[in-house]
Chains A and B, each alone.
Chain A
Amino acid sequence: MDLTKVISKTLTASPERQQEADADWEVVKKVQAGDVAAFDKLILKYRERVYSVIYNLCANREDAADLAQTTFIKAFQSINRFQGQSSFFTWLYRIAVNATLTHLRKNKLRTFFSFERITEEDKTSELIEALTDKSGADREAFVKELQEKLNEALQKLSINHRMVVTLFEIDGLGHNEIAEIMGCSVGTVRSRLHYAKQLLQADLQSYLR
């Protein structure tokens, strides 16, 4: 690994992330050595996060499942090319994001939304409580409407803006990691995030208090 990469990784990554990256690198080395079954560990570990990123970008659960599977297959096929210069999850995210971008550009005119259901325990969360004083079926309808509006507002954003919002606000990645995944500067990530939030704020004004 390049010394500069190691230094930059050490400086930017949090200790937890660094620990996670090291653990992943060990598994990757096993896969590269021929232990194919070790890759299943990585799939189990990252499938939900990869699926979530793709789902929030394309807002279609079937397409998201398909693209997540493609991501893992691509990662497996090119695992020998992974040299540990970045963390495994950044590399995997980059594959997922690129696959999603290609898919979205290819199907620009064909957009179908199909959403995951919000779980029951989340319907009674503090946030929902704060947003509505309704109960029962009314609350169900309100949550559904809110979900649709939220996804609608996100889909109005450009792909790059949507990606920044998804990775930062929903997946909780840092600016540096997003910059690495998207192949742009941290400043660009910040400005895109700011602009995207302004647009979302204007669109979801009626739900904000």
Chain B
Amino acid sequence: MSDHRFNPPPRVTLEDLLRLKRTERPPAEFWIQFERELQQKQLAALVERKAWWHELAAFYSRYGRVRAPLGATAILALTLFSIRYYSHSEQDPRLLLATGPGGQPAARMAVRMHDQARPVVVAAAVRERASVEQAPASNGKSTASRVAAIYQAPAGEVPGFIPWVGDVMQNQAGASGLTTSVRSIAVNLITASVTDADLAEALARPHGFEERAVPSAHPQHTAEMLPTAAAAAEPRRARLLAALGSAGAFAPEPSAPEHARRSVNQYLAQDGWDRSMGRLEAEGDRLSIKF
């Protein structure tokens, strides 16, 4: 009989089995190769250029103790800068691009937005439209220069070619300058009152797509032909105004949304739009017209 019967095999646990894994060891020659490869990789790593964020990480780890206050200061500074920047940009003069019929931007003008809303009586201004229509012919100034004069007018002064604004100003007790609404209305009325020749020239000027697609277009041909056309003036004028409106020649109310500007342009393009006007209200820098 063997001893096996009297000596049962020792108990084998999971821990014993797992300990067997420790015996899985690489041979000695493995480490020679390992060493050689590691040296090559180390040299390659030394030669390799580090990215800039590695330096940043090293900097932060070096100054680990001040990391939190440093980060908090950076965030605070960024927040303060953002607040200051945006509040400053709201108060700053806003650049407005007015396009003249000459094909080039008429002028880049700084329009100071009024901080306080002031009551404006614009009804008188609308009624004075007829006098505005005659103004360009009388003083002989171009539309572009008149538009520029409106925006560059100093506080308290009103350009002479828009006499109706003088009435408006008289109605504004203590007013020191033109409001944004008055300026916008004045620019639109001046644009609407340009001559057919100016309109044709403005339309012949390439707008966007035409400028890119047809770079060799000669706008002067259209400018010469349209004024000499014998067709009835008023319907054509309406069409030209509508086209000019859609081309963005009118100076829009800065705060008016796109669809509002579009509908205003459409109404302005119709004959006798001022007669169909039902209600006109002005409050501060806002003007609401109901047709």
- The reply to whether A47 and B42 form a contact with Cβ atoms under 8 Å apart is no
Whether A208 contacts B13 in the complex (CB less than 8 A), given A69-B41, A73-B42, A77-B45, comes out as: yes
- The reply to whether B20 and A127 form a contact with Cβ atoms under 8 Å apart is yes
Q: Closest chain A residue to B42 by CB distance?
A: A73
- The reply to whether A150 and B25 form a contact with Cβ atoms under 8 Å apart is no
Q: Which residues of A contact B257 (CB under 8 A)?
A: none
- The reply to whether A208 and B45 form a contact with Cβ atoms under 8 Å apart is no
Which of A17-25, A89-97, A112-120, A175-183 interfaces with chain B?
Answer: A112-120
Chain B residues touching A, majority SS: helix
Q: What is the bound-complex CA distance between A126 and B10, given in angstroms?
A: 9
- The reply to whether A72 and B12 form a contact with Cβ atoms under 8 Å apart is no
- The reply to whether A65 and B10 form a contact with Cβ atoms under 8 Å apart is no
- Judge if B29 is at the interface, Cβ distance under 8 Å: no
Closest Cβ of chain B to A15, distance in Å, is 24
- The reply to whether A209 and B34 form a contact with Cβ atoms under 8 Å apart is no
- The reply to whether A76 and B42 form a contact with Cβ atoms under 8 Å apart is yes
**Restricting to A88-143, which residues have a CB under 8 Å from any CB of B?**
115-119, 122, 125-127, 130-131, 133
- Judge if A201 is at the interface, Cβ distance under 8 Å: yes
- Judge if B258 is at the interface, Cβ distance under 8 Å: no
- Judge if A68 is at the interface, Cβ distance under 8 Å: yes
Chain A residues touching B, majority SS: helix
Give a binary string over B27-59; 1 marks a CB under 8 Å from any A CB, 0 the rest: 100110010011001100100000000000110
Closest Cβ of chain B to A194, distance in Å, is 12
Interface size, chain B (Cβ < 8 Å): 33
Q: Which residues of A contact B45 (CB under 8 A)?
A: 73, 76-77
- Judge if B19 is at the interface, Cβ distance under 8 Å: yes
Whether A150 contacts B17 in the complex (CB less than 8 A), given A80-B62, A83-B64, comes out as: yes
- Judge if A61 is at the interface, Cβ distance under 8 Å: yes
- Judge if B21 is at the interface, Cβ distance under 8 Å: yes
Closest Cβ of chain B to A55, distance in Å, is 7
Q: What is the bound-complex CA distance between A130 and B21, given in angstroms?
A: 16
- The reply to whether A150 and B18 form a contact with Cβ atoms under 8 Å apart is yes
- The reply to whether A127 and B16 form a contact with Cβ atoms under 8 Å apart is yes
Q: What is the bound-complex CA distance between A165 and B30, given in angstroms?
A: 26
Whether A51 contacts B38 in the complex (CB less than 8 A), given A81-B58, A147-B20, A169-B18, comes out as: no
- Judge if A43 is at the interface, Cβ distance under 8 Å: yes
Whether A197 contacts B14 in the complex (CB less than 8 A), given A83-B64, A150-B20, comes out as: yes
Q: What is the bound-complex CA distance between A112 and B104, given in angstroms?
A: 71
Closest Cβ of chain B to A88, distance in Å, is 16
Q: What is the bound-complex CA distance between A180 and B55, given in angstroms?
A: 26
- The reply to whether B14 and A201 form a contact with Cβ atoms under 8 Å apart is yes
- Judge if A27 is at the interface, Cβ distance under 8 Å: no
Closest Cβ of chain B to A172, distance in Å, is 9
Whether A208 contacts B12 in the complex (CB less than 8 A), given A127-B20, A169-B18, comes out as: yes
Closest Cβ of chain A to B37, distance in Å, is 6
- Judge if B15 is at the interface, Cβ distance under 8 Å: yes
- The reply to whether A130 and B12 form a contact with Cβ atoms under 8 Å apart is yes
Q: Which residues of B contact A131 (CB under 8 A)?
A: 12
- The reply to whether A146 and B61 form a contact with Cβ atoms under 8 Å apart is no
- The reply to whether B23 and A122 form a contact with Cβ atoms under 8 Å apart is yes
- The reply to whether A69 and B38 form a contact with Cβ atoms under 8 Å apart is yes
Whether A81 contacts B61 in the complex (CB less than 8 A), given A65-B34, A204-B14, comes out as: yes
User: What are 5 A-B contacts with C-beta separation under 8 Å?
Assistant: A52-B22, A61-B26, A65-B34, A169-B18, A208-B14
Measuring CB to CB, which residues of chain A are less than 8 angstroms from any residue of chain B?
Answer: 43, 47-48, 51-52, 55-56, 61, 65, 68-70, 72-73, 76-78, 80-81, 83, 115-119, 122, 125-127, 130-131, 133, 146-147, 150-151, 154, 165, 169-170, 197, 200-201, 204, 207-209
A81-B58, A125-B23, A146-B17 are known contacts; what are 17 more A-B pairs with Cβ within 8 Å? Answer: A52-B22, A65-B37, A69-B37, A72-B42, A76-B42, A80-B58, A81-B57, A116-B24, A117-B24, A127-B19, A130-B10, A131-B12, A170-B22, A204-B14, A204-B17, A208-B12, A208-B13
